[in-house]
Amino acid sequence: MDIESRLKETVIDAVHEIFGQRPDEKSIQIQKTRKDFDGDFTLVVFPLLRISKKPPDQTAEELGEYLKDKVDQIYGYNVIKGFLNLSIDKSFWISYLNSVVQNDNFGFIKNKENPKTILIEYSSPNTNKPLHLGHIRNNLLGYSVAKIIESQGDKVYKVNLVNDRGIHICKSMLAWQKWGNEVTPEKAEKKGDHLVGDFYVKFDQEYKKEIVKLKSSGSTEQDAAKNAPLMLEAQEMLRKWEARDPEVISLWTEMNKWVLDGFDITYKNLGVSFDKVYLESETYKLGKELVLKGLEENIFIKKDDGSVWADLTEDGLDQKILLRSDGTSVYMTQDLGTAHQRFTDYNADEAIYVVGNEQNYHFQILKIILGKLGFSWSEHLQHLSYGMVELPEGKMKSREGKVVDADDLLEEMTSTAEEMSLELGKLDGYGENERKQIIETIGLGALKYFMLKVDPKKTMTFDPKESIDFNGNTGPFIQYTYARIQSLIGKAKDKDIKFSGDLNESTKVSDKELLLIKFIYKYPEVLQEAAKDHSPAQVANYIYDLAKEFNQFYHDHHVLSETDESIFKLRIYLSRQVGNIIKSGMSLLGIQVPERM
């Protein structure tokens, strides 16, 4: 039983014995004591006043005396405005370190009773352009959230929905037909997703020229955008695609393969993966079937032009189109089909969509429409809404080609890591292969940590050079701390430390060492909260705080030169456990840590 559970049980007994009534377990609130106050755990007394019929401070004093008498680990307490702060004996913390140092899965929940099956959808790229900086945040968030939830014992399936159909795809295809001259990725010596993205940009450039020309002939901006020949041709191509026109389907199949092959390379370099990839081209028909069935059952309405809509005015929203007048589907239609298909495939308890906050309204509507169609599981859809990634100079625009390409960024991170590592002398004495591997580990780790340390809900600005600082709240700082710990443990091997939980509980322990053990104690709770909140930032910032505290401990305390055997052993145990947590926590962020730097 952990100390908090023991305290809760004893408080229940105390209230019953002192005040004559057994309290509801939910009324017993035990928290970590805030940094500004003395103590380790705090009992909130206010919910118990209706039983004690006494003032808060008197109630707390009587409970404090009882707990100090009954719980050996409590050596003192203090009362501040109705809060009972309890101080735990140092021997308990040494005993705790003893118990966890042998646990290779510390913080993780294994063999959980009644684990949930959870789907996490992330990435969701369009096959008309390469992945960019925004996709990187999406992929890293989705992959890390999946690993964190999985660490807490639930079954997680990572899924990707590739947007491989629609007007945007037809724009790239049409531009390739008009200006491509039969070029292929092999001929262009370019990744397929980059090649197709070039034609998406080309379409936009030529389309804008047509709009300018139509406006000069007297058309309004709106009419020019609607009636530009290129746009009309792209819309006709989409109709042909849905009619399975052989020529259009053949080109679409070829160009999609170019893009998907390119994506696979980027995913591999980024270190993310999926258990299943869904294609909208395979799920949109199911969505249309659901919409037509809803129309038959008067859940939806058909307008005079033949388009089908969901009337959500009674839900405080507006009307949402589900099928265009020409019968083609929209994003909402295919999302309905994909959601149904996935819950059928996995019989999931929950589904989490990792999608930017510009789609908040979309997912609000998706949930409501699925509910109207009678799917009870719609209540278990969650939108992990995250903020956009901006550059120091502003937002990105993919139609105009003003984006930070994911592949270019990964290459730049490696290059920057090498430059800064060489400048600081971090790579001295390494062979070529090891140096290359360390540089890639630092570069990719810096990128991932910088992206994930920010609360997902917040918009963030990404600066590559700032992310590869070996000081401060960065990936390289944490990686370097881990490497320092491994060096320390390696040098201590001749002392024959077994890490078998044989620390002497009466060992003299300093405040800084005690603080580190208490940081270690927090790790399981951090993982639980991060899994509940779907927030890798909580793990990232905890690891940074732990690494920072370790470096202060290392600066203030002798380790290898300590002559007292019990103190030496305690410090090595501490160092090893901190290193294990850094490695464990960073792995949940998808980040590797080098054994030496």
Q: What is the pLDDT of residue 399?
A: 42
Same domain for 495 and 354, yes or no, is: no
For residue 395, being part of any structural domain is answered with no
With a cut of 80, say whether residue 202 has pLDDT above it.
Answer: yes
Res 468 pLDDT > 80? yes
Please indicate, yes or no, whether residues 283 and 224 belong to a single structural domain of this protein. yes
Residues 422 and 367 in one domain: no
Mean pLDDT of 168-174: 96
Residue among 446, 436, 438, 386 nearest 410 (CA): 446
**Mean pLDDT of the 470-487 span:** 94
Residue 431's pLDDT is: 81
Residue with the larger pLDDT of the pair 103 and 521 = 521
Instruction: Write the CB contacts of 249 (distance below 8 Å, at least 6 apart in sequence).
Output: 241
Quick one: 236 and 383 in the same domain? yes
Could you read off the pLDDT of 8-29 as tens digits, one per residue? 999 999 999 999 999 999 999 9
Residues 266 and 169 in one domain: yes
Residue 266 pLDDT more than 60?
yes
Rounded CA-CA distance 365/115 in Å is 29
Determine, yes or no, domain membership for 113: no
Using 50, 70 and 90 to split pLDDT, how confident is the model at 467? confident
CATH number at residue 197: 3.40.50.620
Write the pLDDT tens digit of every residue in 210-236. 999 999 999 999 999 999 999 999 999
**What is the predicted pLDDT for the residue at 328?**
80
90-94, 220-224, 462-466, 549-553: range with lowest mean pLDDT: 462-466
Single out the residue in 366, 390, 414 at which a domain terminates: 390
- pLDDT more than 70, % of the chain: 98
Q: What is the pLDDT of residue 420?
A: 80
DSSP element (H, E) containing 260: helix 246-270
Tell me if 141 is assigned to some domain: yes
Statement to judge: residues 160 and 258 lie in one domain: yes
Cβ atoms of residues 124 and 134 within 8 Å:
no
Q: Is pLDDT larger for residue 230 or for residue 465?
A: 230
Last residue of a domain, one of 390, 420, 435: 390
74 and 195 belong to one structural domain? no
The larger pLDDT score, comparing residue 500 to residue 153, is at 153
Average pLDDT over all residues of the chain: 92
Q: Is 199 helix (H, G, I), strand (E, B) or coil?
A: helix
Confidence band (pLDDT; 50, 70, 90) for 449? very high
Share of the chain above pLDDT 90, in %: 79
Structural domain contains residue 116: no
Which pair of tokens denotes residue 306?
């033949």
Beta strands in 45-115 (DSSP E): 74-80, 83-88
396 part of a folded domain = no
Phi, psi angles (nearest 5°) of residue 350: -145, 155
Concatenating the DSSP letter of every residue in 407-428 gives HHHHHHHHHHHHHHHHHTTTTT
How does pLDDT run across 512-566, given as a tens digit for each residue? Answer: 999 999 999 999 999 999 999 999 999 999 999 999 999 999 999 999 999 998 9
Q: Based on the domain organization, do 154 and 9 belong to the same domain?
A: no
Q: Domain limits at 61?
A: 3-88
Q: Is the pLDDT of residue 251 over 50?
A: yes
Is 22 found in the same domain as 170? no
Q: How far is CA 89 from CA 9, 31, 64, 514, 523, in A?
A: 19, 17, 15, 10, 20
Q: Is the pLDDT of residue 325 over 70?
A: yes
99 within a domain of the structure (yes/no): no
Element (H, E) at 16: helix 3-19
The 10s digit of each residue's pLDDT in 388-424 is 888 776 543 444 445 688 999 899 899 888 888 777 7
Q: How confident is the model at residue 464 (pLDDT cuts 50, 70, 90)?
A: confident
Domain contains 259? yes
DSSP category for residue 84: E
* Number of alpha helices (DSSP H) and beta strands (DSSP E) in the chain: 21, 14
Give the domain CATH number at 32.
3.30.1360.70
Q: How high is the pLDDT of residue 393?
A: 65
- Is the model's pLDDT at 37 over the cut of 50? yes
- The answer to whether residues 380 and 426 belong to one domain is no
How far is the C-alpha of 539 from the C-alpha of 423, rounded, in Å? Answer: 30
Model confidence pLDDT, tens digit, residues 343-356: 999 999 999 999 99
CATH number, position 495 = 1.10.730.10
Whether the predicted pLDDT of 586 surpasses 90: yes
For residue 36, which phi and psi values (nearest 5 degrees)? Answer: -75, -10
Q: What is the mean pLDDT of residues 162-182?
A: 95
- Whether residue 67 sits in one domain with residue 167: no
pLDDT digits over 282-300, tens only? 888 899 999 999 999 999 9
Instruction: For residue 418, tell me if it sits in a domain.
Output: yes
Asked if 471 and 521 sit in the same domain, the reply is yes
Burial 176-202 (b: 16+ CB within 10 A, else e): beeebeeeebeeeebbbbbbbbbbbbb
pLDDT at site 425: 72
The answer to whether the Cα torsion of 304, 309, 315, 318 is positive or negative is: negative
**How do residues 46-88 score in pLDDT, each as one tens digit?**
999 999 999 999 999 999 999 999 999 999 999 998 899 999 9
For the chain, the domain total comes to 3
> Which one has a higher pLDDT value, 494 or 396?
494
